[in-house]
Amino acid sequence: MKSKTKSKQVVLSVPDMHCASCPKIITIGLKDLKGVTSVATSLDTKKVTVDFDPSKIKINDLVANIKESGYAALPAVALAKEGSNTIAVDKTEHDHSTMPTEVISPASDVSSTSQVTLLNLTGMHCSSCAGLIERSLKKVNGVTEVNVNFASEKARIVYNPSTAKVEDLIKGVESAGYSASLPGEKEENQKEKRQKEISYWFTKFFLGFVLSIPMILFMVYDFTSKVPLESTIMPYAGIASLILSTPVLFYVGSNFFAGFWSALKMRTFSMDSLIAIGTGTAFTYSVYEYVKYFQQTGSLVGLNGFKVPNLYFEVAAFLITFVALGKFMEAKAKGKTSQAIEKLMGLAPKTARVSRNGQQIDIPVEQVIVGDIVIVRPGDRIPVDGEITSGYSAVDESILTGESLPVEKQVGSKIFTASINKTGSFEFRTTKIGADTALSQIVKLIEDAQGSKAPIQAVADKISSVFVPIVIAIAILTFVVWYFFLGATLTFSLLAFVAVIVIACPCALGLATPTSIMVGTGKGAEYGVLIKGGEPLEMAEKIKAIVFDKTGTLTKGKPEVTDFINYLPGDTSILSILYSIEQKSEHPLAEAIVKYGQSSGAVNYPLDDFQAIPGHGVKAKVNGRVYYVGNRKLMEQNGIPLSASFDMERFENDGKTAMIIADSQKILGVIAVADQLKETSAHVVSKLQKIGITVYMITGDNRRTAEAIARQVGITNVLAEVLPQNKAEEVKKLQDSGLKVAMVGDGINDAPALTQADLGIAMGSGADVAMESGGIVIISNDLNGVLTAISLSRETVGKIRQNMFFALFYNVLGIPIAARALAFAGIVLKPELAGLAMALSSVSVVTNSLTLKLYKPGKFNWVSKLAPYAMVAVFITIFFEFARFSSQMGGMEKSTALAAYLVNNPSVQTEINQALINNPSRIGMVGKLPKLFLGLDSLPQSLKLAEGSLDLSAENSVIIGSVEASMMKGEGLISGVGSELKDFFGLPSVKIVGILEQTGTALDEYHVFNRSTFDKLLAKEDILVTETGMGELKMFYLYDRNNIPALLRSVVNPLKRSYTMGNMKFLPVTIGYDEAAMMKSEKLISKKLDTLKDFFGNNVIVAGLPKRTLTSLDMMHFVPREFKDNYLNSLKTESSVMPTSEDSVN
């Protein structure tokens, strides 16, 4: 007896299997090999068990075949099928780099040497991210085409597999700062994923908002003096803002800095770049100013009841918080629509009942292989594609075809995954599994269409790529011009840079689209319309042609009996006989006839010998007499004359399905069943045609039936006998003729056409995938929703464009002001107000979007139309009011402009100096704070007034310098000209008659009285005012043991009257912080104990360099009283000149 060939078994490890499709792909490949007897794969263990004939095939051949399928394999275990003998296997190194890619559609424009893969992306948060990923992937060797879709968070990549591997593509995404995975890997439920995104941004926004609330209070103090506890709270504003803004910037804003870094690595800029640069500069500069303040004052809190100056932590915090709000609203807008592709894939059953070795077993659908016999019972969903081998039934294929009528199936009929078996049972042989099924192919077509990039997105990307660098360039140019060409201070120039970046920050741009979409889609839902994003919104107004699918769109999708002709009018039993027979029938139209019989009062007769005749009809005996119900062929086979032919053709010409009831001799009646048109179909078609839109109908019906239905609704353009997979091609033909096409459908078979169309409008009664593919969905299933969708889309797109205009309008108006282009006119915009203006731009965008809430179909929205004009006026007012207020707030911005004014008008500077030198000055203290007083009867007429007059003739009247007036207003002591001060340094009351414009000189700190009033002041004459030969004003505080200012008692030693070095006597001088900084810059002194000879008639030694006090004391020299006597004596012999520096005494 001939020995039997021993079968062998090997277990191969395939670590790259990652989804349900992988085992199928591997199984198909292996089963094609000669010598392989069986294949079993396990996704859980990532192992493949193969039974094979070792005389015909080797293990290495199996490994090579799996590699050809796109996977790396390692032999794990090899056993003899009989006898458990181990086969020795060399565990050679295999390439793990090859990973599975999607099947390329024949329609794809891809060369035979290329492959296409889809990657799921995570970490994108703006359209700029998509651009960065594209640029990074295009740098991967072997990649020929990349499309990244921000909305679907997928990348479609065409590449040469011999050059690039999937791991290379994933690394390309990661190098741009994002994450990628193959479909099926780490894939979350899309609804959960979207909810996580919404929660993520809400958490960030909420945290930023909570931490920013205290900083709002700090900003309020800049605007009003009516908030209590200012002097108690404001000194701590700096340290509090630093602590609060740090987590806002580096946690809430971490995404933007990561995006900035990714863009930087790609040598480009994104919207993240502006946000990161603006907030980072404001924060870094604030830290720098805070450290400098600490070095100057030795204090971490503000002095004299004021906040630490020049800190802009709140600007950084507010910017990040508002952008996070925009991202939250954007995520919520995107989350408004369900993600149904995943749900569509879930329509396929998880298990299948197959017949193996004479037994029926339930197995996971992943284990079904081509050739398996699958058993289907009534009510089951079909698990895979196949061909019926036995049995008969009607199958509901509406999930695939969109046609509501069940389709009769018999031996030889093809059936498809996810369709529903109605009543009968049958068996079928599997022909297609996994990615090859009709359902999977439709899903792939949808994913392909959704993965392609819309042209408008490319335009938006281009604008973004240009806008950001231009803004940065303007900001840099602003700094360079002010600092290097106009001689402004570093602080002033840097603040101008920050203000430009801040005012141009794209918060309003970020809110423009999502807020409009959110409000527009919410309003649309009220009227049964779901709008799913900016792209369909913009496309809706461009539509020139609309293609309606027939079944379920123009029709109701529910068959009904429309006509019944009884050829024996006196015999009422005909309908009852028909009703009784159809109750036993499994025909798809039987349910409609039964309902008709019930509503007509038909009687149910008992039946004998009921028999279904597949493809023709049924027959049965009623009271011993044979009756037939069916089509023409059934009558012909039984020799029954077709006397009802005319009526049947008439019904068919009206788009109806006609069936005959007859006995064995003649026709007794004809009944017609049709899918009725919706009541609104004709009205909607007429309205669309009136607004200039060409209407088409597309259907798989025969032309006669299709044209009959089209005539009823007024459609003259009919696309008939179109197979489901060809509908997209018909849409493309219309597009190729130059039309912008909208497709209105309700079935999964419409999904490729919906995605192919410029605008997909899906009816809500259809399958979820159609809703997924449609850019607009008519949720209510009312065709009037198509009209509403177009009008609402047009208004919503109008709002988006208005919002974009407002955002750019803010930039055009705000950037020049922020750049201090009008500083010479006293018009500036401080960074904190620039930040607030930016915030208000965001609020205005949201407000403009909210006017969409007043939308009503067919009504004119007056508020929405007028709002843009009102907002333009508000915008202009806001900017100039903020600029005016910034000017009133004073500070180095205006000082720089005024310094330039004084350089160009030296006579004004001279007049101010002479007024201070030639008239007596006094100093008094309010607590620790100094107050300066000047006595003269008239001020120079060249001085500018902020308010009031220069008239000091009235007794007890006073004119106040700008800095002092600003402080007194801030403390609530005065409101302006006309205010009175009670019990003022010995005077019962004084009245404010004028407030000077800022001069940039010591005069800004003074109270000016006429000589009569001045003489009554209880203030000391401890101030000596003079000037250098170069016209620089110098102020000396003359001290003794009893009048040392409290702020300097730890620095000035009144008991040390002089120093003697050699034969020379030196008077001690303590120099205020600002004056010392100036003298150091002029290299007159460098440190403590430096000496100055002939310093205003005195030899002096620098005895002290105090910290900054942020008062007028910072601009004074503190000297013993004898300094004045020496100075006056020196004037008798020669003019005072500035001395030169000497070495210090050590």
Cα separation, 254 vs 815, whole angstroms:
26
**Is residue 900 within 8 Å of residue 486, measured between CB atoms?**
yes
- Tell me the chain's radius of gyration from C-alpha atoms: 44
> Which tokens hold the place of 1131?
């004037």
**Is residue 748 within 8 Å of residue 442, measured between CB atoms?**
yes
CA atoms within 13 A on the CB side of 936: 19
Cα separation, 824 vs 887, whole angstroms:
11
Cα separation, 315 vs 838, whole angstroms:
10
Strands 1116-1120 and 1033-1039: parallel
CA distances from 566 to 162, 572, 666 (A): 73, 8, 12
CA angle 406, 412, 414 (to 5 degrees): 50
- Residue closest to 880 by CA, chosen among 824, 945, 826: 826
Q: Which residues contact 843 (CB under 8 A, 6 or more apart)?
A: none
**Is residue 311 within 8 Å of residue 290, measured between CB atoms?**
yes
Q: Which residues contact 1066 (CB under 8 A, 6 or more apart)?
A: 1058, 1059, 1060, 1091, 1099, 1100, 1101
Instruction: Pick left, alpha or beta for residue 391 (phi over 0 → left; psi -120 to 50 → alpha; otherwise beta).
Output: left
Work out the end-to-end distance of the chain between its first and last CA atoms, rounded to an integer number of angstroms: 120
- Residue closest to 540 by CA, chosen among 201, 800, 891: 800
Greatest C-alpha distance within the chain: 152
CA atoms within 13 A on the CB side of 662: 22
- Residue closest to 550 by CA, chosen among 719, 308, 387: 719
Residue count of the chain = 1146
Give the sign of the dihedral formed by CA 1121, CA 1125, CA 1130, CA 1131.
Answer: positive
Helices and strands in the chain: count of H runs, count of E runs = 35, 45
Helical H segments across 179-312, by residue range:
190-223, 230-233, 237-247, 254-265, 271-297
**Is residue 698 within 8 Å of residue 550, measured between CB atoms?**
yes
**Is residue 762 within 8 Å of residue 745, measured between CB atoms?**
yes
Q: Which residues contact 243 (CB under 8 A, 6 or more apart)?
A: none
Residue 888: its H or E element: helix 862-889
Helix (H, G, I), strand (E, B) or coil at 805: helix
Structure-token match 């879709």, residue found: 149
Cα separation, 484 vs 474, whole angstroms:
15
Cα separation, 1023 vs 922, whole angstroms:
6
CA angle 1059, 1062, 1067 (to 5 degrees): 25
Cα 666 → chain centroid? 71
Q: Write down the catalytic residue from 461, 549, 654, 750.
A: 549
**Is residue 731 within 8 Å of residue 723, measured between CB atoms?**
no
- Residue closest to 479 by CA, chosen among 222, 219, 813, 831: 831
Cα separation, 1040 vs 841, whole angstroms:
57
608 is catalytic: no
Q: Which residues are the active-site residues?
A: 549
